[in-house]
Structure 1
Amino acid sequence: MEEKRKHPRTEIEEAAYVSSGGMVMSCIVRNISPEGAAIDVENPAFVPPRFRLVVAKDSSVFECRTVWIQRNRIGVAFAAVPQEVRQQDK
């Protein structure tokens, strides 16, 4: 399969939360890059097209939009590159 990402993703396993309109759902961030991530959720049907991803470890917040769904994994693109990620890339 041809790689279409601009930035390689870093494999991680971090607890996080999907947050939207008062709804909060647990998830696991499986990989991340400056422009997006892949997360695992219990039921993707409950994840809205746009949401906030909050990483539990350091409370980083990412504004996300869903790009793809495969079973319980969701690929997301970040609406804006967060400051924390930009600093990690240096």
Structure 2
Amino acid sequence: MQDRRQGPRDKVLYGGVAAINERGSTMDCLVRNIGEGGACVEFETAAKLPEEMNLTIARRGRSYLTRMIWRQANKVGLAFRIMTSDTPVSDLDERLRRSEIKKRQLQRRIKELLGEG
């Protein structure tokens, strides 16, 4: 496989968490190498993964919006699109804010359906 990386990568063994959809589903993973523009991540199983996911690496205190570049069995190459937070906590704050908005929308819809609104 041709190496098309823009910069060097450091070999690491960091635990990570990939948020794989907006409903809060996550999968634990192992970060094998990481650089300025991306990472190689290994999952326990070769599950179906979306093209984009949020990768949080607690040891680095960072969360990245990523795009899948390649896949071989349970390993994937991810390119960092943007760094979404300096700490995983702010990512959780954003997810909580979106969940609260969805909750209010659903509560309004339930009231409409029950004829209370």
TM-score range, shorter chain: 0.7 to 0.9
**Structure ranking higher on relative contact order (CA contacts 8 Å, 6+ apart):** 1
Q: Partners of 2:65 and 2:36 in 1: how far apart?
A: 12
How far residue 77 of structure 1 moved from its aligned partner, in angstroms, is: 0.5
1:5 aligns with 2:17: no
Runs of 4+ that moved beyond 4 A: 81-84
Q: Partners of 2:25 and 2:85 in 1: how far apart?
A: 25
Q: Partners of 1:79 and 1:46 in 2: how far apart?
A: 21
Bigger-Rg structure (1/2): 2
Q: Partners of 1:48 and 1:37 in 2: how far apart?
A: 16
Q: Partners of 2:70 and 2:2 in 1: how far apart?
A: 16
Give the TM-score taking structure 2 as reference length: 0.64
Q: Partners of 1:35 and 1:81 in 2: how far apart?
A: 10
Equivalence for 1:52: 54
Which of 53-62 and 40-49 deviates more? 40-49
Q: Is the 8 A contact 2:47 2:74 kept in 1?
A: no
Is there any run of 5+ residues in structure 2 with no aligned partner, and where?
87-117
More helix by share: 2
Cα deviation digits, residues 37-72 of structure 1 (max 9, x gap): 000002343321101000022431000011100111
Name the SS for the 1:63 alignment partner.
Answer: strand
Q: Partners of 2:46 and 2:68 in 1: how far apart?
A: 10
Q: Percent identity?
A: 30
Question: What root-mean-square deviation, in Å, do the aligned CA atoms of Structure 1 and Structure 2 show?
Answer: 2.0
Is there any run of 5+ residues in structure 1 with no aligned partner, and where?
85-90
Name the SS for the 1:45 alignment partner.
Answer: coil
Name the SS for the 1:6 alignment partner.
Answer: coil
Q: Partners of 1:26 and 1:40 in 2: how far apart?
A: 9
How many residues of Structure 1 are paired with residues of Structure 2 in the alignment? 84
